[in-house]
């Protein structure tokens, strides 16, 4: 993989990204104040309109695909560098009232700043830095920004998948590891809803006529947990459980939402098979398992030429770039699982994804912009 970076261009990109910090801070403020919780169509549209305008200002050609944004920057329709991000957040509308946006010049805090609107801003800064340095992307940069990542990308996944063809590499704009390291692999992630239909009856007067959906559900969950390999490849979490009506009634309905994380495709098949192929333990009970969302395992590679190349670009910029696997899942799981050169974590350093102390480091915004610009100008 031959690069086109020179020491002079590296210095110019670093300087340009630094000068763009006031722009980046203002742009992040605009995006963060446009609250965009997953599933809120009106709020998502308001935020999407701002991002679309920003992409146009940066020279992009924007299209909408099933409510998601796809922007092309730079030359042609040949092989492209694919960037992947999202603009939905876990925070409900109105969260700014108790978790206000703040910028003290060192830290920017507020809903969505770290996860992951700052990553989107870093891309706009990178493109502007290239222009300021008199440079251009080596090939088309294609940016897919989905609106439903925080709920498993039920429609966004297909949009990402459509743009994998012709991608020389895929970069995710999610937050990095706390120390700034990139993410070179991700656990697979699946959410399964297990529903049990039993039969209600009086718990004291006629218990024999009842079929306890709760008892059946407990047994089903225990059996699925027993299917988890004892090798550290799988995390099994019952995140939500509900059922029944009152203590003196045999429960007629019960359900559990189970979250699974995998580092092994074989473990994934084993545990999902136990859940989706379950048979009732009690005569007359009905057990249904529905996969709500799934992201395939992106396994760790013994060698990683893309990470090596990005580290070379970073070194030219005076940045030390490292990478390692991550526990969480995201839209980069798909290309990573298919063997495409993939890295994630190109958002700025910070803290508090999905937490009340969510924030980024201001200087890291310029560093990530310079790194992305350097990658764009290099031939991966």
Instruction: Report residue 29 CA to chain centroid gap.
Output: 21
Torsion of CA 155, 156, 162, 167, to 10 degrees: -160
Locate 283 and state its tokens.
């005569």
Please state, in angstroms and rounded to a whole number, the distance separating the CA atoms of residues 228 and 133. 53
Would you identify the CATH topology of the domain 7-186+299-377? Aminopeptidase (3.40.630)
Please state, in angstroms and rounded to a whole number, the distance separating the CA atoms of residues 372 and 81. 11
What pLDDT score was predicted for residue 270?
Answer: 87
Q: How many angstroms separate the first and last alpha carbons of the chain?
A: 5
Please state, in angstroms and rounded to a whole number, the distance separating the CA atoms of residues 251 and 239. 20
Strand partners of residue 31: none
Strand partners of residue 188: 262
What pLDDT score was predicted for residue 2?
Answer: 38
Matching fold, domains 7-186+299-377 and 188-295? no
**106, exposed or middle or buried, with CB in 10 Å at 0-12, 13-18, 19+?**
exposed
What pLDDT score was predicted for residue 75?
Answer: 80
Q: State how beta strands 167-172 and 80-86 pair.
A: parallel
Please state, in angstroms and rounded to a whole number, the distance separating the CA atoms of residues 60 and 143. 9
Please state, in angstroms and rounded to a whole number, the distance separating the CA atoms of residues 241 and 281. 19
| Each residue's pLDDT tens digit, 98-129 | 999 999 999 999 999 999 999 999 999 999 99
Radius of gyration of the chain (CA): 23
What pLDDT score was predicted for residue 265?
Answer: 79
pLDDT in tens, the chain (380 residues): 334 789 999 999 999 999 999 999 999 999 999 999 999 999 999 999 999 999 999 999 999 999 999 999 988 778 999 999 999 999 999 999 999 999 999 999 999 999 999 999 999 999 999 999 999 999 999 999 999 999 989 999 999 999 999 999 999 999 999 999 999 999 999 999 999 999 999 999 999 999 999 999 999 999 999 999 999 889 999 999 999 999 999 999 999 999 999 988 788 888 888 899 999 999 999 999 999 988 999 999 889 999 999 999 999 999 999 999 998 899 999 999 999 999 999 999 999 999 999 999 999 999 999 999 999 999 88
Q: Assess contact for 213 and 253: CB atoms under 8 A.
A: yes
What pLDDT score was predicted for residue 269?
Answer: 85
What pLDDT score was predicted for residue 268?
Answer: 84
All structural domains of the chain with their residue ranges:
7-186+299-377, 188-295
What pLDDT score was predicted for residue 71?
Answer: 98
What pLDDT score was predicted for residue 120?
Answer: 98
188-295 maps to CATH 3.30.70.360: yes
What number of other Cβ atoms are within 10 A of residue 358's Cβ?
Answer: 24
Please state, in angstroms and rounded to a whole number, the distance separating the CA atoms of residues 372 and 49. 23
SS3 state at 358: coil
- Per the prediction, the chain carries an average pLDDT of 95
Q: What is the DSSP letter of 267?
A: H
């Amino acid at each position: 993989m031959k690069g086109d970076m020179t020491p002079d261009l590296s210095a110019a990109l670093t300087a340009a990204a630094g000068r763009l910090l006031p722009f980046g801070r203002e742009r992040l403020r605009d995006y963060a104040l446009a609250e965009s919780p997953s599933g809120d169509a009106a709020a998502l549209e308001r935020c999407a309109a701002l991002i679309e305008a920003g992409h146009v200002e940066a020279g992009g050609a924007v299209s909408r695909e099933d409510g998601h944004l796809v922007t092309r920057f730079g030359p042609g329709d040949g092989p492209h560098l694919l960037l992947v991000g999202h603009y939905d957040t876990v925070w409900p509308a109105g969260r700014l009232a108790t978790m206000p946006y703040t910028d003290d010049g060192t830290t920017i805090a507020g809903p969505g700043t770290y996860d992951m609107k700052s990553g989107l801003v870093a891309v706009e800064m990178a493109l502007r830095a290239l222009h300021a340095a008199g440079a251009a992307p080596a090939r088309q940069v294609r940016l897919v920004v989905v609106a439903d990542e925080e709920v498993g990308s039920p429609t966004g996944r297909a949009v990402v998948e459509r743009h994998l063809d012709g991608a020389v590499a895929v970069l995710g704009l999610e937050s990095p590891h706390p120390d700034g390291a990139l993410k070179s692999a991700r656990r697979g992630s699946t959410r399964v809803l297990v529903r049990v239909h039993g039969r209600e009856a009086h718990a004291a007067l006629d218990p024999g006529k009842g079929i306890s959906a709760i008892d059946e559900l407990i047994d089903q969950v225990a059996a699925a947990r027993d299917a988890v390999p004892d090798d550290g490849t799988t995390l099994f979490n019952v995140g939500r459980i509900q059922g029944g009506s009152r203590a003196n009634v045999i429960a007629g309905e019960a359900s559990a939402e189970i979250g699974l994380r995998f580092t092994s495709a074989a473990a994934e098949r084993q545990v999902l098979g136990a859940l989706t192929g379950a048979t009732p333990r009690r005569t007359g009970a009905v057990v249904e398992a529905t996969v709500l969302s799934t992201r395939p395992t992106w396994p760790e590679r013994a060698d990683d030429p893309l990470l090596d190349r990005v580290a070379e670009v970073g070194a030219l910029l005076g940045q030390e770039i490292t990478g390692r696997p991550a526990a969480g899942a995201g839209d980069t799981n798909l290309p990573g699982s298919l063997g495409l050169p993939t890295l994630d974590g190109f958002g700025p350093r910070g803290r508090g994804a999905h937490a009340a102390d969510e924030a980024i480091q201001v200087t890291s915004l310029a560093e990530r912009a310079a790194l992305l610009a350097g990658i764009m100008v290099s031939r991966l």
